[in-house]
A and B are shown apart, each in its own frame.
Chain A
Amino acid sequence: MNVYFIGMAISMVLYIVAGFFISKRVRNANDFFVAGRNAPTILIVGSLVASYCSTGLFMGDAGEAYAGFFSPFMITVIMQTAGYLLGSVFFGRYLRRSEATTIPEFFGKRYESKKLQKLAAVTAIVTMLVYMLSVMQGIGTLMSYVTGLDYNLCILLALLTFTVLCFVSGSKGVLITDTIMFGIFTVSAVISVFVIVNKLGGWVPSIQAVTAENPDVFSWHGNLSHLYPTGAENMIWALMTGLTWVSVCAIGPWQSSRYLMAKNEHVVVRSAVYAAIGVGLLEFIIPTTAALLRQHSDAIPGSSYALIWAATNLLPTVLGVLLLTGVLAAGISSATTFLSLIGSSVAVDICGIEDDKKKLNVARVAIVAASAVTMLLAYFNPPQIYIVLLLSGTVVTCSWVPVCIASVWSKRVAKEGAFWGMLCGFVGCAAVKIVGSVFKLSLPLWCDSFVVGLVANVAAMLIATRLTTPTEGELLQREKLMVIPAKEFDAKEIRITKRTVSIFILWGGCGRPGASAGLGYPLYQRPVSQPAV
């Protein structure tokens, strides 16, 4: 037992205490499943960012940048921030308007199809179980590395924390603790990044040192020995992965489900803008710092461990404890969201229970069952964080995106089109991933699981749409979605929302790409042409 374990243990106890405290305010099923549908912008932003940021960011993404795949990776994370805004305006507002409890229930109501609702629930549950598993592996790797405790014991401790939290306080607890954890890992990461870079000798000298060792790391194509051998292929990979993550941030169940809890539609749009900026900044500073840690590659045990190594070797102990507690918080906050959504989906979508008390009981049983399944899977699987994360993101995109778009924006797609599109997208994407992995195939870029799944989804949807027509009920449901509630027409609220979206335009014009062009060019290119002696 060391100081890092004590810090992590204290934080886990505090999260459980917070869960019990919040549970006193959970009075009915509405509170448990959608936090009373009354959450302000700060809670939705906190939960969006906390659900997105997991051990995958601090270990998987940081590890990719450390491995020299910096620029292609940055392209994907810059692109994905657009997903939040597009998702909130073109899907999230309508989702909130439907007053559904879960996203599969939204699909079921919109297309008057229990079959579609169940299929959507199954795809969501599978995706989130896989995602939760990868987060658990990250937490296990992190905790066992810094505390020296057994890997499975670490997983069990974290699992108990978020299972109890979800069990007693549901979505309301998740929303509030997510926001607390968002604060913890953001503050700890920002402070730590500057201290680490200072220890490395400052921004410019560090970049010079890394570039002198390998000029490809900060070049536009990244390290050509990492994934693909040519810059063009790496760019195509970056664009395709970027589009996948635009979709994940727009409609991913653990992201867009947060909008169901928003106080109104203005909160949906505003929180998306702030979450996009928050995620973008964290995805910029953390992988950048990890790439600079290449100077210590002889001491760092593996790419996933870069930031953890820095926390235990470069930071003062107090700050190291804070950063590692923050990484743990990021993992737990994502897992709580997945777990609460699995509970909701089993009770509402799979079992279709109407009675509030029964619904709560079934959701709680499902939460415990999902935890037990995750524990067993984590026990038997080795930690392969980044690949598992990609699998879940791609699968959900392929099965849901065209259906999400059609549910709001198409009068022609009927329940059959939505069902077959979702099924073929899911099967197509998963099949390519599984076949490629089992037979260790090196598939060409055009045969990527994302492309195959999306094409399968759209093709199946188009064929079914040609053969069927929507019922009157389905068309009526869509018309109802198009009616903006009168309470949304508040001049002051509209003004604030539009102003917030304008901030995103500034972000696009001056923020991240501005930093790449203005800051990145002289910083990154000067060292290439004038390497440090």
Chain B
Amino acid sequence: MEIAIAVFLGLFLMAAALAALVRLNRDYKSDK
């Protein structure tokens, strides 16, 4: 169970980071 919790938390944090990175990439793609 401890491993399952750790995996869930790892995925949760990485999903948040990826979502943020995707948004930033999209925003700063069109260089002005």
Residues of A within 8 A of B (CB): 71, 75, 78-79, 81-82, 85-86, 88-90, 220, 231, 269, 484, 486, 488-489, 491, 494, 497-498, 501-502, 504-505, 507-509, 511-514, 516-517, 520-521, 524-525
Q: Is the CB of B27 within 8 A of A82?
A: no
Residue of A nearest to B20 (CB): A89
Q: Name the B residues within 8 Å of A489 (CB-CB).
A: 28, 31-32
Q: Name the A residues within 8 Å of B1 (CB-CB).
A: 220, 231
CA gap between A79 and B9 in the complex, in Å: 7
CA gap between A517 and B10 in the complex, in Å: 10
- Since A85-B20, A90-B23, A269-B20 are in contact, a sample of 12 more A-B pairs with Cβ atoms closer than 8 Å, ordered by chain A residue number, is A71-B5, A86-B19, A220-B5, A489-B31, A501-B20, A504-B13, A505-B21, A516-B6, A517-B2, A520-B2, A520-B6, A521-B3
Question: What are 28 A-B contacts with C-beta separation under 8 Å?
Answer: A75-B9, A79-B12, A82-B17, A86-B20, A220-B1, A269-B20, A484-B27, A489-B28, A491-B31, A498-B25, A501-B24, A502-B21, A504-B20, A507-B17, A508-B12, A508-B13, A508-B17, A509-B10, A513-B7, A513-B10, A513-B13, A514-B6, A516-B2, A516-B6, A517-B3, A517-B6, A520-B2, A520-B6
Q: How many A-B residue pairs have CB under 8 A?
A: 99
Interface of A is mostly: helix
CA gap between A86 and B12 in the complex, in Å: 12
CA gap between A508 and B10 in the complex, in Å: 5
A514 to chain B, nearest CB (A): 7
Of A498, A509, A517, A520, most B-chain CB atoms within 10 Å: A517
Residues of B within 8 A of A (CB): 1-3, 5-7, 9-14, 16-21, 23-25, 27-28, 31-32
Residue of B nearest to A515 (CB): B6
Q: Is the CB of B23 within 8 A of A81?
A: no
A220-B2 contact in complex given A489-B31, A508-B10, A517-B7, C-beta closer than 8 Å:
yes
Q: Is the CB of B13 within 8 A of A78?
A: yes
Q: Is the CB of A78 within 8 A of B9?
A: yes
CA gap between A395 and B5 in the complex, in Å: 27
Q: Name the B residues within 8 Å of A502 (CB-CB).
A: 17, 21
Q: Name the A residues within 8 Å of B2 (CB-CB).
A: 71, 220, 516-517, 520-521, 524-525
